[in-house]
Chains A and B, each alone.
Chain A
Amino acid sequence: MSSETPTKSPEAAPVPPPGPAPVKKRVPQGHQRLLTRRDRITLAFMAGVPTVLHVALVWITALASIALAFTTWDGIGFDSIKWVGLDNFKQLFTDNPQFWPAVQHNIIWFVVLILIPTPLGLFLALQLDKNIRFSRVYQTAYFLPVVVSLAVTGFVWQLVYNPDTGLINSIIGANKPGHYIDWIGDPKLNLWAVLIAASWRHTGYMMILYLAGLKGVDPSLREASALDGANEWQTFKNVIFPTLRPTNTVVLVVTIIEALRAFDLVFVFNKGAQGTELLSILITNNIIGESSRIGYGSAIAVVLLVISLAVIIPYLIATFRKERRA
């Protein structure tokens, strides 16, 4: 689940020009003349170090997590690792009262992000793309929440939602006995409260992505549609939006990843108390800390990994297929 994959538009992926390659005429030995010994060492170094790091930090650890998911381990000495087969998963699916709500909340998180902040971000991007006055100021204002750390965002919103002294309850007078609105604690409310904070941030993110996409739309397309007498909505619907397809793919993937890795905001907000359980928080609660349940936590991590793969693999397949066609 690394987050860097999606930021690269699939179209931007370097596709070798299919045209004729004149170099090929110069027979194989050309290779050896092109690369000196030093070049080769540099090349090996440049390719080797990232590979080693990648294998060690991504593959080995991921595989170790998967292996640990079938054990119990308190993290003290390797001899205390005990193989338990599928027990962790059985417990997770049947006995853990927080697991299914967590899965559900991750899904709600995704649905809300795609339904509210994403269209809103597109709308803002369209407005800003019209070169209105103070466009830079608006861009900065909307993008600022994305720059600020999510932990800070969570902290700020937690002050807004505080039941006694928070902004909202103070304004509407809901901080008196009998009238309390517990935005942070009430399981019927807190997920939505935190989603407002998440959407506030996500809107800015989507706006920037779409704004970049819109800058890439050929102005002659707009001119042509204007000449054809299309109004603004028709231009958007029939001309602009279809050309934003690559951006939409990126947006979709980014949003899915945001929904799966949602953690910091909620953790700061209320530590994933009832109503806001998330898979990432369950993993943290089980693994980090003293006398940790590393096996059990790994089992939850594996579930999260499987969900991510189920989303990412179809995306990759689609991308590769497109590249091959190109």
Chain B
Amino acid sequence: MTDLSPSGLSLPSPSRRSLLRGVGGAALVAGAGIPLLSACGSSGSSSDSKTVSVGSNDSDAVPKKAYADVYAAFQKQSGLTVKVNTKDHNTFQEQINSYLQGTPDDVFKWFAGYRMQFFAAKNLASPIDDVWEKIGANFPDAMKKLSKGADGKYYFVPMTTYPWAIFYRKSVFAAKGYEVPTTWDQLVALCKQMKKDGLVPIAFGDKDAWPAMGTFDQINFRLNGYDFHVDLMAGKAAWTDAKVKAVFDHWAELLPYHQDGFMGRTWQDAAQTLVSKKAGMYLLGTFVAQQFTNKADLDDLDFFAFPEINSAYGQDTVEAPTDGFMVSKSPKNKAGVTKLLEYLGTPAAEELYLKGDPSVVAASNKASTSAYSALQKKAFEMIGQAKSLTQFMDRDSRPDFTSTVMQPGLQKFLQNPKGVDSLLSSIERQKKTIFAS
């Protein structure tokens, strides 16, 4: 199974990551944590001109194999060897600070957006404008925007992406005569109808704390637009703004139609209610398809964009977390790195990757879509037509803010939707101190 959580954090069962974290946490409580952490960086990047090293978080079998095929093709074409250093997905992410400060690989796998810009601003990544001169034509404008640092230089080569949307079963909608809602009022009306028909209108599980961020994002950029999303995530707009309050008011209106008991439910379990047709809709990324192991069920799965709330913005924004590559601060083999990234930025490389991992779509709009499934085609069109692409709350903002303030904050809202005002002023106070540091 591919690890496609929007946050990139914790996907399957809690076991692997929690154990690792547990060990780290125990060490910390003993007061021995900090120097240990910085000792975790990888070492031994090769220095000869025939090799390029790549640090990868693709520890899951499917993407690992798919990338191996891509590197093999690159080797055949260029004669350069790619030395891949794969780490567990979550470990890679948790150690990224010390990894990039130590002796990182020449190229490393990372996420587009704010999380990329953060390391660019810290001078832990190298600009790659020269690569983009060659590959620029392969990508739509929205992808270009995602690949630039705050200084306007390119730091990132996007590889794959996937959209967030509302998923539903075609057969259920046909049997009950439901229509795909395009406005907020239609969505609420549909929820009411589903409830009357004995369905759970919206499947939901927030045990891992990130799914709620997805709902917030959708309502926020539908209501307040892409620019406000960016400002809010970057800590510029205030959480006490009436616009944010309005997002929570809309959410509160929809909350009674969400599946009960969501605080203790994982997204996988919530997806199962859609698989068993007990739920009518589910707002999630396309990785929800992983739970549809039966071919007939998968063919019955479809999705639509979150309905319009504010006509000024329509449905112009799509949340499409994008994964790709960055270059570390002082790569050993600069010429090789450029060659590798130029190759990875070609439609051919992306097509080759998608052959091995069909759960995502290509970031390039030049890549052939002929091998796509119906879901992939739809996802690709949705992303291609978007005016703006967002990444996800925890990729568009500081990870320390989202994990220590927003995750518990949103869970608190879900438990007690009436306490929004005090919650928002608490979030704003904490945000100020975090963004000031």
Closest chain-B Cβ to A292's Cβ sits at a distance in Å of 6
Give the A-B pair count, Cβ closer than 8 A.
190
Closest chain-B Cβ to A259's Cβ sits at a distance in Å of 13
Q: Is B265 an interface residue (CB 8 A)?
A: yes
Considering only CB atoms, which chain B residue lies closest to A72 in the complex?
B437
Binds B, one of A9-17, A108-116, A129-137, A161-169: A161-169
Contacts of B15 in A (CB 8 A): 151, 155, 268
Complex interface residues of chain A between 18 and 43 (CB less than 8 A to chain B) = none
Contacts of B254 in A (CB 8 A): none
Closest chain-A Cβ to B115's Cβ sits at a distance in Å of 8
Complex interface residues of chain B between 251 and 291 (CB less than 8 A to chain A) = 259-265, 269, 272-273
Contacts of A271 in B (CB 8 A): 14, 18, 208-209
Q: Is B330 an interface residue (CB 8 A)?
A: no
Interface string of B203-238 (1 = CB under 8 A from A): 000111100000000000000000000000000000
Complex interface residues of chain B between 1 and 59 (CB less than 8 A to chain A) = 13-15, 18-19, 21-22, 24-26, 28-35, 37-38
* B260 engages A301 (CB within 8 Å): no
Closest chain-B Cβ to A163's Cβ sits at a distance in Å of 4
Complex interface residues of chain B between 101 and 130 (CB less than 8 A to chain A) = 101, 115, 118, 122, 124
Interface size bucket, B side? 35 or more
The one of B97, B207, B429 that contacts A95, using a Cβ cutoff of 8 Å: B429
Closest chain-B Cβ to A275's Cβ sits at a distance in Å of 9
Q: Is A274 an interface residue (CB 8 A)?
A: yes
Considering only CB atoms, which chain B residue lies closest to A177 in the complex?
B260
Closest chain-A Cβ to B259's Cβ sits at a distance in Å of 7
Closest chain-A Cβ to B205's Cβ sits at a distance in Å of 9
* A261 engages B29 (CB within 8 Å): yes
Complex interface residues of chain B between 331 and 369 (CB less than 8 A to chain A) = none
Complex interface residues of chain B between 173 and 200 (CB less than 8 A to chain A) = 200
Q: Is A258 an interface residue (CB 8 A)?
A: no
* B269 engages A185 (CB within 8 Å): no
Closest chain-B Cβ to A99's Cβ sits at a distance in Å of 11
* A288 engages B30 (CB within 8 Å): no
Closest chain-A Cβ to B7's Cβ sits at a distance in Å of 11
Given contacts A95-B429, A284-B21, A291-B399, contact A180 B261 (CB under 8 A): yes
Q: Is A6 an interface residue (CB 8 A)?
A: no
* B263 engages A184 (CB within 8 Å): yes
Q: Is B78 an interface residue (CB 8 A)?
A: no
Q: Is A280 an interface residue (CB 8 A)?
A: yes
* A290 engages B30 (CB within 8 Å): no
Q: Which 8 A-B pairs have the closest CB atoms?
A: A185-B263, A184-B264, A180-B261, A185-B264, A284-B25, A163-B261, A180-B260, A62-B31
Instruction: Report which A residues bind B (CB closer than 8 A).
Output: 1-2, 57-58, 61-62, 64-65, 68, 72, 74-77, 82, 87, 91, 95-98, 150-151, 154-155, 158, 161-165, 175, 177-178, 180-187, 190, 261, 263-264, 267-268, 270-271, 273-274, 277, 280-281, 283-295, 297, 301, 304-305
